[in-house]
Amino acid sequence: MTTSELSDTSPHQLAAITAAAAAAAGPLADTSADERAALLHAAADAIDGRADDLVAVAHAETALGEARLRGEVARTTGQLRLFADVVREGSYLEAMIDTPDPAASPPRPDLRRMLRPLGPVAVFAASNFPFAFSVAGGDTASALAAGCPVVVKAHPGHPRLSRAVADLVAEALAGAGAPDGTFALVSGLETGAALVQDPHIRAVGFTGSLAGGRALFDLAAARPDPIPFYGELGSVNPVVVTAAAAAARGAEIARGLVGSFTLGVGQFCTKPGVVLVPADAGMDEHVRDALDAVGDVGGEMLLPRIAEGFRAGVAELAARPDVTVVAGSVHQPEGTAATAVVLASDVAALQRAPDVLLAEVFGPVCLLVGYRDHDELDAAVALLPGSLAMALHAQPEEAAGLAPLLARLQERAGRVVWNGWPTGVAVTWSQHHGGPWPATTAPLHTSVGATAIRRFLRPVVYQDLPADLLPAALRDDNPLGLLRRVNGRLTRDPVGGAGAVGR
Amino acid sequence: MTTSELSDTSPHQLAAITAAAAAAAGPLADTSADERAALLHAAADAIDGRADDLVAVAHAETALGEARLRGEVARTTGQLRLFADVVREGSYLEAMIDTPDPAASPPRPDLRRMLRPLGPVAVFAASNFPFAFSVAGGDTASALAAGCPVVVKAHPGHPRLSRAVADLVAEALAGAGAPDGTFALVSGLETGAALVQDPHIRAVGFTGSLAGGRALFDLAAARPDPIPFYGELGSVNPVVVTAAAAAARGAEIARGLVGSFTLGVGQFCTKPGVVLVPADAGMDEHVRDALDAVGDVGGEMLLPRIAEGFRAGVAELAARPDVTVVAGSVHQPEGTAATAVVLASDVAALQRAPDVLLAEVFGPVCLLVGYRDHDELDAAVALLPGSLAMALHAQPEEAAGLAPLLARLQERAGRVVWNGWPTGVAVTWSQHHGGPWPATTAPLHTSVGATAIRRFLRPVVYQDLPADLLPAALRDDNPLGLLRRVNGRLTRDPVGGAGAVGR
């Protein structure tokens, strides 16, 4: 296994790589569903086959621990295989056919629509998921599934792992018949900026910080030909605890919170960063007890720079007169080590400085914000920034009365969790990992779940095309057996056949 | 009918209008499919009921003629009713359910996903479709259908019509029970810029010029919270004529071309602006004959400013030594009048100045570009900018050999037309009106056809939500009778029921 360090990709190398990706785009787009599924399976199998070695390299570079990393490898290869299923299932193509109507005024032609791959996609790997949101992660899997060549910008936090995974994937794809240029890895900060501006690149998938993501988003938008930038940037994932829930099971909720915000040393995009709790329900004490009970919660963060950001974020909050320390210590170790901290404040403070108190601080810290009544809770909810997920802890018997609160949370979140925690993102057909800005840059964006593939596709309509030039998905006889919308009705029947599914 | 002139909306008025739209967003999002369909039908009925008056006002302001304008009214109200069907059909919600799996590692929660409205949408009306891409046009229809309040920026080319349609629509929506603030009209260049930057606005639909659209796109992207800007900006809609087609029916193709590029005084977004023809097939002569045969083809353009742009565009092309005049005259009348012109050039000229020769010139002009062989055709195709539509005129017997050319055209176009013309956009489920930049700003964008609704929606996932808090679309018993994806399978059955539609 290659485990050499990554050197920065030169502009000359980058130009060759993106030109090769552009050359691969047509042949890759023309592969059949089975061929593309085989590519995804080959990549998954290659990674699974070397999981022991990869996990060792990953642990050495990220300190995330073997158990977590093994789970992440399984998630990564599971994602690749899920997208193989999505491709074979075929409805992601959104095949639609409207047959001609010469009697219409004006006469209606034959119109057949499907989604086609966009072309080469740039993927920016994340620091905190060295497998699942990195070289062969969800962005790569969904872009390849769509039929788009991928150029991954490696994250500097795990260069040897990035190289190793990239080599495995490239070899596996080539072995499974992928066109040359289908997949490449590049490295370097300036390379990343150049990649977003490269004329061959047609879309970008990004997971990372708000500052870095915004800078790249701006580059993508400022191109002579702007391209979609699908960025997942930052999220505080607020949690609301009702008075009834705090009274009935405050200690249990506190234990759940401690488990969630300290998971992976607080380095999840879905970490609950702020919790709205009833002011006089003793939640501060419950959380202190819960943290004490698990002892010295902390660990090694991914990178010295990330630990530094954590310390600075905690210090900025704790230095405020309207913020107190509930549990853990503001005084953090040096280097990459971090220990869990819980801070507390109130709604008035939130209103004074929402940008400070509701900024994401990556790492094991969370802020309890006490609300005294419904009005204060409403005022606090109105300030919550767009987030990947929000959670509501409440008692079953008060559910019906919580519809208005739930409606306000869903306005600001991509996922709404009932009596659970935002962390833990199952990879399924219906899963969504996106939310209003700054959680993600595009409202329809998701980087997890089957619909992530749609980011890398665009519609094409064929008007009056001869039968033998039509893509298989749009032929009268429906050779792929797709569920298609024919004259507005969903059906698997051949065009002209009977038995539409009906509207 | 109110037919007063529009005065510019003040910043104070705009703030009140967008605040009202924001207040309407929740109640409008909560309306049922039937309620929303009723709103759309009420608007359509109101417009149809006053069609005579509206057409008269529109003709006075646009000179588009009664026949065309009556057809456009029908298209506009047809669009409103199509989106009522789309809402009632319900699959636009993309309802998906993954039931829990406690045995999974980690245990999988109950996940239920659907699309929800984005919030207030700004719509910029176009000059050239005073009904169908204007106050109550496709953007407005699809945004209202999605459940989003709409603030329309009127086009200055038809202010009295804009006011009249807006008053009718506002009254009809209110009468059908729409929340206050659901719909408003604003006016003024600076108002438009302020509208795109208004914090309450969550998305923009725009049809207009490349320069104006780019300026507004840049404002949307530069917001502290960037919002999607769905702009349709400019398109040359290239046409390719094969040597076999030119030989077999050059005169017929020429007649079709003249009909298409002069339709509506050349003021369609889908006007064929450049035609790649075999160099020595006499297509120049065929087109000259076809134009001569129909006589003095021209008419009044929409606005003096637009006619000025047409004259300037024609003059810039005709002044080039590598461009000749084939038919019609470069010397155009003053004011809003315009007459048809055909210019000719060659592939070498295209390669020297693609930005000039392939720029959209709004109005009745088209450029024939002669290619001498396959290599020249390939070189010309490689230069074609993204377009709403491209057309290929060929003989049936050569179809099979044209797959590679077709593939290259589809890379650059949203719609590919066989032996037809880009003009004439049927409004159907499968229709698409978008294309790679600069045709539209977002690859998945379409402003025509059922999927236009998706621009104004975003996914929300509910995790472990109690049954009585779930939206109807996601309840176990499927009260709306939707086709839903349950554990990856499409079905109309209740959750837990049998008989899924397939895999």
Give A398's DSSP letter: G
Q: Do B98 and A26 touch (CB under 8 A)?
A: no
Which chain A residues are Cβ-neighbours of B399 within 8 angstroms? 466, 468-469
Positive or negative torsion for Cα B434, B440, B446, B448: negative
Enter the pTM of the model: 0.94
The reported pLDDT for the residue numbered A297 is: 81
| CB of A190 closer than 8 Å to CB of A166 | no
Mutation choice for A interface testing from B30, B82, B461, B482 by most A CBs within 10 A: B461
Mutation choice for A interface testing from B237, B260, B398, B463 by most A CBs within 10 A: B463
> Which of B20, B9, B6, B4 minimizes the C-alpha distance to B190?
B9
For chain B, give the mean pLDDT. 94
Name the β-bridge partners of B498. none
- pLDDT tens profile B119-131: 999 999 999 999 9
Encoded tokens for A413: 């979140």
Q: How far is CA B107 from CA A83, B101, B487, in A?
A: 21, 6, 15
Q: Do B403 and A469 touch (CB under 8 A)?
A: yes
Which chain A residues are Cβ-neighbours of B463 within 8 angstroms? 389, 415-418, 420
Q: Do A91 and B428 touch (CB under 8 A)?
A: no
Percentage with pLDDT > 90 across chain B: 87
Q: How far apart are CA B306 and CA B218, in angstroms?
A: 23
Question: A94 — contact with chain B (CB < 8 Å)?
Answer: yes
Of the candidates B118, B400, B490, which has its C-beta nearest A443's C-beta? B118
Read off the pLDDT of each residue in B279-301 and give the average, rounded to a whole number: 92
Which chain B residues are Cβ-neighbours of A413 within 8 angstroms? 460
Question: B430 — contact with chain A (CB < 8 Å)?
Answer: yes
ipTM, two decimals: 0.94
Unique residue bearing structure tokens 């095949």: A95
> Which entry of B232, B360, B366, B376 is annotated as an active-site residue?
B232
* For residue B107, pLDDT beyond 90: no
Of the candidates B228, B436, B437, which has its C-beta nearest A442's C-beta? B228
Which parts of chain A sit beneath pLDDT 70? 1-5, 497-503
User: Greatest CA span in chain A, whole angstroms?
Assistant: 79
Q: Which of A214-223, B239-248, B441-450 has the lowest mean pLDDT?
A: B441-450
Catalytic, B232? Answer yes
Read off the pLDDT of each residue in B212-228 and give the average, rounded to a whole number: 97
Residue type, A135: V
The reported pLDDT for the residue numbered A501 is: 38
- pLDDT tens profile A211-230: 999 999 999 999 999 999 99
Lateral strand order in the sheet of B341-346: A489-491, A484-486, A96-98, A111-117, A457-463, B413-418, B387-393, B239-241, B274-278, B365-371, B341-346, B324-328
Residues 6+ apart with CB under 8 A from B258: B287, B290, B291, B294, B297, B340
Per-residue pLDDT band for B475 (boundaries 50, 70, 90) equals very high
Per-residue pLDDT band for B497 (boundaries 50, 70, 90) equals low
User: Greatest CA span in chain B, whole angstroms?
Assistant: 79
Encoded tokens for B287: 């087109």
The reported pLDDT for the residue numbered B4 is: 52
Q: How far is CA B161 from CA A25, B69, B72, in A?
A: 47, 12, 13
